[in-house]
Chain A
Amino acid sequence: LAKTTQPISMDSYEGQEVNITCSHNNIATNDYITWYQQFPSQGPRFIIQGYKTKVTNEVASLFIPADRKSSTLSLPRVSLSDTAVYYCLVGDEDSSYKLIFGSGTRLLVRP
């Protein structure tokens, strides 16, 4: 399974755009890239998933370059409630049972 590398922590201010980059140099052809968000004492929740180029939903965008060796989660105009841990995961449908949640990126949004 492809291993991912993310920054341990990031700081931002309300209203700013936040970009969290994840490296996955060993991503396989069939792998999708998925991001989850976790608040303290809660289970992670799905944010966004993509395979290539750009994906956008109501909460975030995911940018994936052509070589797919990295991806960037973009959170537009963050608020205090976006303070959480963000996990980047890589896997295909067959390996979904073994998704590895690393330590994630701790995002702190300041007033």
Chain B
Amino acid sequence: DGGITQSPKYLFRKEGQNVTLSCEQNLNHDAMYWYRQDPGQGLRLIYYSQIVNDFQKGDIAEGYSVSREKKESFPLTVTSAQKNPTAFYLCASSRGTRGYTFGSGTRLTVV
């Protein structure tokens, strides 16, 4: 079955550490996205990529970095510059507005 796989499901980070969240899709979608969701809030766009080797900042890109070396993969690195990284992170891919498919999310906690 086609879909998006995010890993790990839970991640714990120490202060000052960088961590990388994995996102892989086999839907052959060109566009991929990373969103952040805080408790009781909507989704906020961190980064998005429309094609391989190209990506753009979303609304809250500071403290995050991404790469898009392969169509299937769009990893997100949460750097030590992100002051409040504890949140639920969602990866998605799409073919147009209807084709948004989300992964199951990664819950990141700073310890």
Q: List the interface of chain A (C-beta within 8 A of B).
A: 32, 34, 36, 41-46, 49, 87, 89, 91-93, 96-104
Contact = CB atoms under 8 A, between A and B. Distances in A.
Contacts of B98: 32, 34, 46, 49
B97 A91 contact: yes
Contacts of A43: 4, 90, 92, 102-105
Contacts of A89: 97
Contacts of A45: 102
Contact of B97 (A42, A99, A103): A99
Interface of B: 4, 31, 33, 35, 40-45, 48, 50, 56, 58, 88, 90, 92, 94, 96-105, 107
A102 B90 CA distance: 15
B42 A41 contact: no
Given A41-B88, A98-B45, A36 B100 contact: yes
A101 B43 contact: yes
B91 to A, nearest CB: 8
B96 A96 contact: yes
Given A34-B98, A43-B104, A49-B97, A97 B42 contact: no
Give 10 closest A-B pairs by Cβ, nearest first: A43-B102, A101-B43, A96-B97, A103-B42, A101-B42, A102-B42, A43-B90, A49-B98, A93-B96, A97-B48
Nearest to A92: B97
Contacts of A46: 98-101
29 contacts: A32-B98, A34-B98, A41-B88, A42-B105, A43-B4, A43-B90, A43-B92, A43-B102, A43-B105, A44-B43, A44-B90, A45-B102, A46-B98, A46-B99, A46-B101, A91-B97, A96-B31, A97-B31, A97-B33, A97-B50, A98-B45, A99-B97, A100-B45, A101-B35, A101-B42, A101-B43, A101-B44, A103-B40, A103-B41
A61 B56 CA distance: 35
A98 B41 CA distance: 18
